[in-house]
Amino acid sequence: MSCPMARWLLLGLAVLLAGFTPNPARQPALRTFYADPAGTGDGSSSAAPMALDRLLAMLRPGDRVILLPSDYPDTRISVRGTPEQPIRIEAAQPAVAADGRAATGTGLAMFRNSGLEIDQSAFLRVAGLAFTVEPDQYGNGITVTDSHHLAFGRNLFHQQTNYGLLLAGTEESPVTQVLVEGNLFRNHLQDSEGGGIGGVRMDYGLRVHGTHGLVVRDNRFDGYFNHSASKEFVQDVTIRGNRFRTCGLVCVEAGQEPDTEVAGRTVDRTVADVATTGNDFIGLDDGTVAVFARNAQRVVVAANRFAGISEPLRVANNDRNSRSCERQLQLLGRKLRT
């Protein structure tokens, strides 16, 4: 792939970013409701909240739901807004401050040892929620399936046992057009996760499968992960302006698995058209890899800043997870021979 091709890829992803649609903060809500886990009111005010599960069943395009401070149980969301009237679910107090740090105090909408499942949803924004798992418990943050035009902002994902945010698309039902912005992924527990995989508790901060059109910008990944952000069989991704501190094994994994044979057919797990630009990677000179590319094509790594990172870029060649020798990878201005 030539340098003009790399510039074309950056331009194309910039257009994707500029035209990204899930920005419901620009539109006023048609109706605003207040919720907590067991409210008995009509949701019209913070003094009369409705139970969240009851409220979710009655939402219409343009509605805004404010989650009051409390501990929330596992919750399933299946709602559909429209481009003109998205649905917003947000905390009364955001879990992440405007400067990217965790909010102080106890007034949070907290999913403690519990999580959100988002399925068959569209034009939805989830903002300001806190997800945490206690050291002797197991759980994950947000799981997304069969959905499109979503935005996640200023949420806190703290020491989950596998992932903070999972976009779990499939070949038949991809997750499309997702914005992940201003969130904080944090883990400082170095014991193995529940399944005994890897060297730290939180395997993934952001885990992405089967997703088309993803923007990951201005997030913080703080602490130890086997993969701060990892993707397979995804297309059209921009990773920009994020701060990765410590990371663990790998900060950004552009491709994780080889293509596989399932029931006599090949499952394509290739990652394509990924731009990783303008990020800060801060390590401890302990072997951390900033960007690891395998089973990937048309990947641009440019204008990032590295400090204490052992390998800014690693390209897999012959390891068991690699088919990169059959792909092309572009480090801006230089073609890598793989």
Question: pLDDT value at position 230?
Answer: 80
What ranges in 25-122 are assigned the alpha helix state H? 52-56
Give the dihedral sign, CA 101/104/109/110. positive
Question: pLDDT value at position 259?
Answer: 66
Burial class, 295, CB count within 10 angstroms (exposed 0-12 / middle 13-18 / buried 19+): buried
Question: pLDDT value at position 15?
Answer: 44
Beta-sheet pairing, 220-232 with 204-209:
parallel
Domains of the chain, first to last: 3-30+67-81+90-335 (2.160.20)
Return the DSSP state at 263: T
Residue type, 225: F
Question: pLDDT value at position 192?
Answer: 59
Apex 268 CA angle, 230 and 291, nearest 5? 25
* 213 Rama sector, left if φ>0, alpha if ψ -120 to 50, beta otherwise: left
Residues in the chain: 338
Q: How many CB atoms lie within 10 A of CB 34?
A: 22
pTM, 2 dp: 0.87
Tokens standing for residue 82: 């429209």
Residue 197 and residue 187: Cα distance in Å, rounded?
15
Give residue 51's Cα distance to chain centre. Answer: 27
CA dist 101 → 90, 96, 98 (Å): 18, 6, 7
Residue with tokens 């990924």: 274
Residue 302 and residue 322: Cα distance in Å, rounded?
23
Q: Could you read off the pLDDT tens digit of each residue along the chain, which spans 338 residues?
A: 333 444 445 445 444 444 444 444 456 788 999 999 999 999 999 999 999 999 999 999 999 999 999 999 999 999 999 999 999 999 999 999 989 999 877 799 999 999 999 999 999 999 999 999 998 899 999 999 999 999 999 999 999 999 999 999 988 899 999 999 999 999 988 765 554 445 678 889 999 999 999 999 999 999 988 888 887 778 899 999 999 998 878 899 887 766 666 677 766 677 888 899 999 999 888 888 899 888 778 888 999 999 999 889 887 754 444 443 333 333 333 333 32
